[in-house]
Structures are given as C-alpha cells and as structure tokens.
Amino acid sequence: MERCIDDELPFEIPTTWIWVHLDNICTYIQRGKSPKYSSIQKYPVIAQKCNQWDGFSIDKAKFITPESLTSYAPERFLQDNDLMWNSTGLGTLGRIAIYKEALNPYELAVVDSHVTVIRPLKRYILSEYLYFYFSNPSVQSVIEEKADGTTKQKELATSTIKEYYVPIPPLEEQKRIIAKINEILLLIRQC
C-alpha cells in the first residue's frame, strides 16, 4: 500500500516536475572524514570556511598528510560540480558551494567531516539547479529545524540529507531556471 506524502511536501510544483528524495538522484552522498593535517601543501581538505555564500575558496583550505591519501577511497576525491554542503556548526550549517576543478591548482581535494559531498546524476540533474534550490530561503530557513544536536553544535545528518525532498523539473527546464537566476543575480550585482 502506497502512503500519501502530500503533507510532507513544502509546496505545489508543475505537473511536469516530480518530488524525489535527494538520494534517488545522486550517485554519492557522504560526509567527509576527519583529516590528518600537514604543512605540506599538496592535497587540500575542504572545510566549512571554504564554502561561503559568495562561492568556493580553495585559499582557505588546509592540507592532509600525503601518506594519509591511501586511506581515502577513490569516491571521496572531489569531482567537478560536486556540491559541498556544510553539515555542522553554528552560523555555517547549510552553506553550500559547487566544487570546480578549475579553481583547484592541486591534483585533487577531499572534504573534512563537517562537509557533506553531494554528487548528482549529472546526465539528469544539474548541480547548479540543486545549488540554487538548497541555498534558497525555503530550504535555508528550516535547516536548523532538520538538524540534530544542541544550539552550540547543530548537525545535519547524512540520512536527513539523503531523505530531503527536491522538486525536479525536466533537464531543459533546469537549464532555463539556472539561466534566469543567473540573469537576475547579474542585475542585482550591478545595482
């Protein structure tokens, strides 16, 4: 017997769209691991401070010890257009950025245990669409309610992220939405 999820959905969507759990449209959703830091600047580890609302900054990254690289499974290495969602912290919880390989002058990068990597099915879901959805006020205003923990240390569990409902339009419509948002943001920046 199917259950009705209408009460769980935040708003109505067009009939050509579909509500899905994030886990159903991604190949990988996983929080990073605690790094062993090094002064050798070879393999950056992305932390909360690297993910700002104005974008991703590799300049704020620390580095892992080169010998600890073998403890990372290949899927833990960031890929172009992965989303990096801050999953813990007061004031940083919920900030999200898109990883761009072109902005990383190093061979590779990983994330620490305070950041969750979201890797969408790139043939069907555009990272920028998910970025705009998760950074919008309808999501950001309830992030703390979905988090566990105390006021001083809120945490967005990986299971909560995987179960998050996302409204998915057809791919061409995702492209139009992204283009329109970028057009509006450009106008706003010019003001």
Mean pLDDT, residues 5-16: 82
131-163 tens-digit pLDDT? 999 999 888 888 777 877 765 677 888 999 999
Is 38 within the bounds of a domain? yes
Which residues are CB-contacts of 97 (< 8 A; sequence separation ≥ 6)?
50, 51, 52, 55, 56, 83, 84, 131
Which residues are CB-contacts of 146 (< 8 A; sequence separation ≥ 6)?
156, 160, 164
Residue-wise DSSP of 31-43 = E-----EESSTTE
55-114 tens-digit pLDDT? 888 999 999 999 999 999 999 999 999 999 999 877 788 899 999 999 999 999 999 999
Mean pLDDT of the chain: 90
Is 173 within the bounds of a domain? no
Predicted TM-score (pTM) of this structure? 0.91
Is 49 within the bounds of a domain? yes
Is 107 within the bounds of a domain? yes
Token code pair at residue 189:
């920046």
Is 80 within the bounds of a domain? yes
Is 187 within the bounds of a domain? no
Q: Which CATH number goes with the domain that contains 26?
A: 3.90.220.20
Count of domains forming the chain: 1
Q: Domain of residue 157: give its range.
A: 21-166
Report the amino acid identity of residue 55.
Answer: G
User: Quick one: pLDDT at residue 75?
Assistant: 96
pLDDT exceeds 60 at position 2: no
The backbone region for 59, taken as left when phi is positive above 0, alpha when psi lies in -120 to 50, beta otherwise, is: alpha
